[in-house]
């Protein structure tokens, strides 16, 4: 009888953590956002069509659970406790900071889709730098004026693309980002929406809706300053729901005690809203 009692305790000690994981909707074996983060009970994940930015975000690859956030120099950020870390390099320079992170995600999607003419961003002097033209030799001189050189590269090569992004990151900042954004025309929050509070920028990664009440919860992705791993944010607030999902209450998202209004959502100016949402 005593043996049976200890056996039951042993089984429960093994099963309870698994039940907790199942209830929270987190599947450690999942290698993408959609595979690792199940929706809370009673909710359904919004559909996304293949080849859209929303689909790209839902299927971003993730590093194994408990992978630490690392700064650009490889040093772990011990103060950051993300829900997950995106499997995407940060670079070895302090360039891909908070604002540049959303540029990186949008640019990576466009490059994957080979939409090279759509890859273009502004720099500090107000100039718009198209990727294809940059690959043909556009460079920046010290006096902040642009000119063409005779060192063309292949725009289809990923190394060329990364050099372009480093160029953009070096010569852009939070204020520059606003030149590439426009208010979202979608009626509700959707993956790819960008929220801004002060100089902090987050992007909506995924959306789930309650089947009966219509309440909305979202997954969020962000970078940091100094440059560090792109991460799925962990909900640690009072209104936290299952896993990393953040509730949208009366059009407001609260992240680390900072409020973001979902009425003021942005997307990149060349994002095809009729397809994405």
Per-residue pLDDT of the chain (277 residues; tens, 9 = 90+): 444 443 333 333 333 333 333 345 789 999 999 999 999 999 999 999 999 999 999 999 999 999 999 999 999 999 999 999 999 999 999 999 999 999 999 999 999 999 999 999 999 888 999 999 999 888 777 566 777 777 788 999 999 999 999 999 999 988 899 999 999 988 889 999 999 988 899 999 999 999 999 999 999 999 999 999 999 999 987 655 557 999 999 889 988 888 899 999 999 988 764 434 4
Q: Are residues 167 and 202 in the same domain?
A: no
Residue 99 contacts by C-beta under 8 Å, 6 or more apart in sequence?
172, 173, 174, 176, 177, 199, 201
Residue 18 maps to a domain: no
Domain range enclosing 232:
43-68+181-276
Q: What is the pLDDT of residue 19?
A: 35
Residue 269 maps to a domain: yes
Q: Are residues 134 and 172 in the same domain?
A: yes
Residue 6 maps to a domain: no
Taking the C-alpha atoms of residue 73 and residue 94, their distance in angstroms, rounded to an integer, is 8
Taking the C-alpha atoms of residue 25 and residue 40, their distance in angstroms, rounded to an integer, is 6
Q: Which ranges constitute the DSSP H helices of 44-188?
A: 53-58, 98-112, 131-135, 158-170, 174-177
CA-wise closest residue to 115 among 53, 57, 191, 66 = 53
Residue 202 contacts by C-beta under 8 Å, 6 or more apart in sequence?
194, 195, 220, 221, 222, 233, 255, 260
Q: Are the CB atoms for 165 and 111 separated by under 8 Å?
A: no
Residue 179 contacts by C-beta under 8 Å, 6 or more apart in sequence?
122, 126
Count: domains in the chain: 2
Q: Are residues 170 and 238 in the same domain?
A: no
Q: What is the pLDDT of residue 7?
A: 39
Residue 218 maps to a domain: yes
Last residue of a domain, one of 123, 145, 180: 180
Q: What is the pLDDT of residue 277?
A: 40
Token couple for 216: 């909305």
Tracing tokens 């559909």 back to the chain, one arrives at 47
Q: What is the pLDDT of residue 248?
A: 93
Q: Are residues 148 and 220 in the same domain?
A: no
The span from the first CA to the last CA of the chain, in angstroms, equals: 60
Q: Which residues pair with 114 in a beta bridge?
A: none
Q: How many CA atoms lie within 13 A of 139 on its CB side?
A: 9
Q: Are residues 188 and 250 in the same domain?
A: yes
Q: Are residues 222 and 257 in the same domain?
A: yes
Q: Are residues 265 and 211 in the same domain?
A: yes
Q: Are residues 134 and 111 in the same domain?
A: yes
Strand blocks (E) in the chain? 43-45, 84-85, 120-122, 128-130, 138-140, 146-148, 181-183, 194-197, 200-210, 216-222, 231-232, 246-247, 252-255, 258-261, 265-268
Q: Are residues 195 and 158 in the same domain?
A: no
Residue 97 maps to a domain: yes
Token couple for 256: 């680390």
Token couple for 176: 């520059």
Residue 9 maps to a domain: no
Q: Are residues 154 and 189 in the same domain?
A: no
Q: What is the pLDDT of residue 5?
A: 40
Q: What is the pLDDT of residue 181?
A: 96
Taking the C-alpha atoms of residue 67 and residue 181, their distance in angstroms, rounded to an integer, is 32
Number of Cβ atoms within 10 Å of the Cβ of 189: 23
Q: Are residues 52 and 187 in the same domain?
A: yes
Last residue of a domain, one of 155, 180, 205: 180
Q: Are residues 147 and 176 in the same domain?
A: yes
Residue 4 maps to a domain: no
Residue 122 maps to a domain: yes
Last residue of a domain, one of 160, 180, 200: 180
């Amino acid at each position: 009888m005593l043996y049976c009692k200890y056996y039951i305790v042993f089984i429960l000690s093994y099963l309870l953590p698994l039940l907790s994981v199942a209830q929270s909707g987190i599947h450690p074996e999942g290698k993408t956002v959609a595979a690792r983060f199940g929706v809370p009970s009673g909710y359904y994940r919004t559909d996304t069509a293949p080849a859209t930015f929303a689909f790209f975000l839902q299927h971003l690859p993730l590093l194994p659970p408990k992978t630490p956030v690392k700064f650009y120099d490889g040093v772990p950020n011990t103060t950051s406790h993300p829900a997950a870390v995106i499997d995407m390099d940060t670079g070895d320079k302090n360039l891909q900071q908070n604002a540049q992170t959303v540029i990186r995600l949008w640019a990576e999607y466009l490059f994957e889709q080979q939409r090279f003419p759509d890859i273009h961003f502004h720099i500090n002097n107000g100039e718009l730098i198209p990727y294809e033209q940059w690959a043909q030799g556009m460079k920046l001189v010290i006096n902040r004026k642009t000119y063409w050189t005779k060192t063309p590269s292949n725009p289809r090569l990923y190394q060329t693309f990364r050099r372009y992004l480093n160029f953009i990151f070096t010569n852009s900042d939070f204020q520059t980002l606003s030149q590439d954004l426009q208010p979202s025309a979608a009626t509700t929050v959707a993956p790819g929406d960008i929220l801004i509070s002060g100089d902090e920028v987050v992007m909506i990664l995924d959306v789930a809706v309650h089947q009966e009440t219509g309440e909305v919860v979202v997954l969020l992705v962000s970078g940091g300053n100094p440059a560090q791993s792109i991460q799925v944010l962990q909900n640690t607030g009072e209104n936290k729901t299952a896993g990393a999902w953040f509730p949208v209450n009366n059009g407001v998202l609260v992240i680390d005690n900072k409020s973001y209004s979902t009425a003021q959502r942005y997307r990149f100016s060349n994002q095809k809203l009729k397809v994405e949402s």
